[in-house]
């Protein structure tokens, strides 16, 4: 929106449903506002009427005039959303004060969530999580999950989480309180069937495994340890013990039990049962058992829907209290068809697109934007509860943390307002004004360019594969592309570097973002050089660059995350040329 008096534009993300600008400004001495201990808007010249029963729960009317600031909200949720709109306006207002205006706003989707993977090596510091909560609130997200396999300090389970720098009960209680004040629901998350290799690698827990390892998963990866529980009463008793330790730290009545990708189901101890009754019957029986546990703890169960949607007739057998989460991260995700089916059953459900940052050194920007838009469009069309953007850490979490920021803004916009696709110009402007506070606009431009470097549209970027390819694989991988594609990658990389060199962010994490993007671009450059010039990292220049990348990776990691998991992630980089690092710590 643009002020007619000063000609200065103010960008609000997500865009309000109704907004009318007036002529004039409320001077700062009358425009000061803050929040009270419960996160509600307050100020000497601010009036907040809540609840206003004429408005929806998350609806608010915000007015700024010579009288001060007035907020009418359907509930405390709506009032806190109005506060975030005020913050965005204030961040873009100059010495004249806050512009006169009237806004009436409400979301298209009631749940607008974000899930951060903290089990693929990287567990954020509490400071980082606090900053994340602030960003999520600013863009009107209202749900946060931290994806967990082993990174919670379960009592008497130290053998699993020692060295991982896990979240503790006290930290989750603190984060829960911070989220409540910000208008965000912190939802517990613990995978409960598949992806349990962090547990099943230890002899103490192998009695729970469906089958032995090694095996090759559907992604073509050789798994050295079992990943899936044998879905019986013993497994349910085990999960009950974990839930008893985890769930009391959350005030939310919701719980995500995971249960995606149980790759070995039917391959081992359950093979006879699967042969007799079918794989999906065995899965559903266990899932309903987990749902009973959720009810025991007063929680509503959410779960990943990939298994149940492989034979959608089984979704009809779900307890209505269980909520599937439809996930998919690529162009061809069948959100429209799957949403239509779940809605026909009367089920509550979420859609879950992805940030498309994992398995890259940046972001697959076009894939992310289209994936998010398609998910939001289907959710609105068929009446889903909401959308939850996922940010995974597959492959060691080597991507820049700030590379997820474009996806965050895309998801915020798509889940709130009628326009499901945030145009690139507004996306860059939003990052510059509201995230980086960068008057040059260059940091956002660098990240946008970084998102265009890789021609691959699938879920593993080509430059990422090049970087980590073993010497025996690199030649065949190089043949997958051509000189034109590599030239394009190099030119786009150079454009990103130019933009980065001119940026001047003033946000609290601005310097960290610069270091993260620079490291991502350095890793991309190393990968391109492997493809074009030095596939086996033999030259002195390439070897030196790899050493510098490994050193800087550790520094950048520790700026936002805890130490646990760093060695595992760093080891993948060192394994590109192990002889450069093998004697590093020998004295």
**Domain residue ranges in the chain:** 18-105, 190-320, 442-580
Residues 6 or more apart whose CB falls under 8 angstroms from that of 328 comprise: 334, 335, 352, 353, 354, 371, 375
- Cα dihedral sign, 330-333-339-345: negative
Count H helices, E strands: the chain?
20, 17
Is residue 407 a contact partner of residue 13, using CB atoms and an 8 Å limit? Answer: no
Q: Say if 18-105 and 190-320 have the same CATH topology.
A: no
What are the backbone dihedrals phi and psi of residue 215, each rounded to the nearest 5 degrees, phi first?
Answer: -155, 165
For 174-327, strand residue ranges (E) read: 185-189, 215-216, 222-223, 254-256, 300-304, 323-327
Q: Which DSSP string do the residues of 151-174 spell out, in sequence order?
A: -B--TT-HHHHTTS--B-HHHHHH
Of the candidates 151, 22, 16, 141, the residue with the CA atom closest to the CA atom of residue 86: 16
pLDDT of 583 reads 56
Residues 6+ apart with CB under 8 A from 206: 200, 226
Question: What is residue 441's three-state secondary structure?
Answer: coil
Q: How many CB atoms lie within 10 A of CB 141?
A: 28
Sole residue written with tokens 């512009």: 99
Chain position carrying tokens 């130490």:
563
How high is the pLDDT of residue 585?
54
How many other C-beta atoms are found inside a 10 Å radius of the C-beta of residue 240?
15
Return d(Cα 448, Cα 366) in angstroms, integer. Answer: 10
Smallest CA-to-CA distance from 77 within 47, 119, 105 is with 105
The pLDDT of residue 224: 92
Instruction: Enter the CATH code of domain 18-105.
Output: 3.30.379.10
Phi/psi of residue 262, nearest 5 degrees: -80, 75
Exposed / middle / buried, residue 471 (Cβ in 10 Å: 0-12, 13-18, 19+): exposed
Closest CA to 261 of 343, 332, 328, 349: 328
| pLDDT tens by residue, the chain, 587 residues | 655 454 568 999 999 999 999 999 999 999 999 999 999 999 999 999 999 999 999 999 999 999 999 999 999 999 999 999 999 999 999 999 999 999 999 999 999 999 999 999 999 999 999 999 999 999 999 999 999 999 999 999 999 999 999 999 999 999 999 999 999 999 999 999 999 999 999 999 999 999 998 988 887 888 899 999 999 999 999 999 999 999 999 999 999 999 999 999 999 999 999 999 999 999 999 999 999 999 999 999 999 999 999 988 899 999 899 999 999 999 889 999 999 999 999 999 999 999 999 999 999 999 999 999 999 999 999 999 999 999 999 989 999 999 999 999 999 999 999 777 899 999 999 999 999 999 999 999 999 999 999 887 777 899 999 999 998 889 888 887 777 789 999 999 999 999 999 999 999 999 999 999 999 999 999 999 999 999 999 999 999 999 999 999 999 999 999 999 999 999 999 999 999 997 555 54
CA distance 403 to 454: 14
User: Please, are residues 246 and 168 in contact by the beta-carbon 8 Å criterion?
Assistant: no
* 190-320: CATH, from 3.20.20.80, 2.40.50.140, 2.60.40.10, 3.40.1390.30: 3.20.20.80
> What is the value of pTM for the model shown?
0.96
Residue with tokens 């431009």: 445
pLDDT score, position 6? 46
């Amino acid at each position: 929106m643009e002020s007619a008096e000063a000609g200065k534009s103010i960008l609000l993300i997500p865009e309000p449903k109704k907004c009318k600008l007036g002529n004039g400004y409320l001077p700062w001495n009358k425009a000061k506002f803050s929040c009270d201990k419960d996160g509600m808007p307050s100020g000497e010249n601010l009036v907040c009427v809540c609840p206003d029963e004429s408005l929806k729960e998350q609806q608010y009317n915000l007015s700024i005039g010579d009288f001060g600031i007035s907020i009418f909200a359907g509930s405390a949720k709506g009032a806190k959303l109005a506060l975030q709109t005020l913050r965005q306006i204030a961040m873009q207002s100059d010495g004249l004060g806050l512009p006169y205006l009237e806004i009436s706003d409400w979301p298209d989707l009631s749940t607008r969530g974000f899930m951060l993977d903290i089990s693929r090596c990287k567990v954020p510091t509490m400071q980082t999580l606090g900053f994340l909560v602030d960003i999520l609130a600013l863009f009107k997200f209202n749900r946060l999950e931290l994806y967990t396999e082993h990174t919670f300090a379960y009592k008497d389970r130290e053998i699993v989480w020692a060295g991982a720098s896990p979240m503790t009960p006290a930290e989750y209680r603190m984060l829960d309180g911070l989220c409540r004040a910000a208008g965000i629901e912190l939802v517990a998350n613990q995978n409960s069937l598949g992806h349990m290799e962090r547990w099943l690698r230890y002899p103490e827990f192998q009695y729970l495994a469906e089958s032995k390892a090694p095996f090759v998963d559907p992604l073509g990866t050789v798994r050295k340890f079992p990943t899936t529980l044998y879905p019986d009463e013993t497994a349910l008793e085990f999960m009950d013990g974990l839930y008893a330790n985890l769930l009391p730290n959350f005030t939310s009545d919701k719980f995500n039990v995971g249960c995606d990708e149980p790759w070995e189901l039917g391959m081992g101890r359950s093979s006879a049962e699967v042969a007799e009754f079918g794989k999906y019957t065995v899965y559903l029986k266990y899932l309903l058992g987990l749902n009973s546990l959720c009810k025991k703890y007063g929680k509503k169960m959410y779960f990943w829907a990939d298994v149940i949607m492989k034979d959608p007739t089984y979704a009809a057998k779900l307890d209505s209290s269980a909520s599937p989460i439809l996930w998919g991260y690529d162009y061809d995700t069948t959100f429209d068809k799957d949403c239509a089916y779940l809605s026909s059953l009367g089920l509550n459900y979420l859609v879950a697109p992805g940030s498309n940052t994992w398995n890259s050194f940046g972001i697959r920007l076009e894939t992310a934007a289209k994936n998010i838009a398609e998910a939001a469009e289907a959710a609105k069309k068929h009446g889903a509860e909401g959308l939850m953007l996922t940010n995974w850490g597959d492959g060691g979490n080597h991507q820049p943390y700030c590379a997820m920021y474009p996806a965050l803004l895309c998801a915020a916009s798509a889940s709130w307002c009628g326009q499901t696709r945030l145009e690139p110009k507004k996306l860059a402007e939003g990052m510059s004004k509201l995230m980086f506070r960068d008057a040059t606009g260059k940091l956002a431009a660098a990240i946008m360019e970084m998102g265009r470097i890789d021609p691959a549209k699938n879920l593993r970027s080509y430059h990422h594969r090049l970087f980590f390819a073993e010497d025996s694989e690199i030649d065949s991988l190089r043949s997958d592309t051509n000189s034109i594609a590599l030239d394009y990658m190099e030119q786009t990389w150079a454009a990103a570097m130019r933009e980065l060199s001119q940026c001047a962010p003033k946000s609290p994490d601005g310097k960290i973002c610069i270091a993260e993007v620079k490291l991502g671009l350095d890793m991309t450059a190393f990968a391109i050089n492997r493809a074009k010039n030095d596939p086996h990292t033999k030259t002195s220049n390439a070897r030196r660059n790899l050493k510098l990348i490994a050193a800087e990776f550790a520094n950048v990691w520790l700026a936002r995350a805890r130490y646990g998991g760093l060695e595992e992630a760093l080891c993948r980089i060192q394994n590109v040329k192990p002889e450069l690092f093998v004697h590093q710590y020998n004295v």
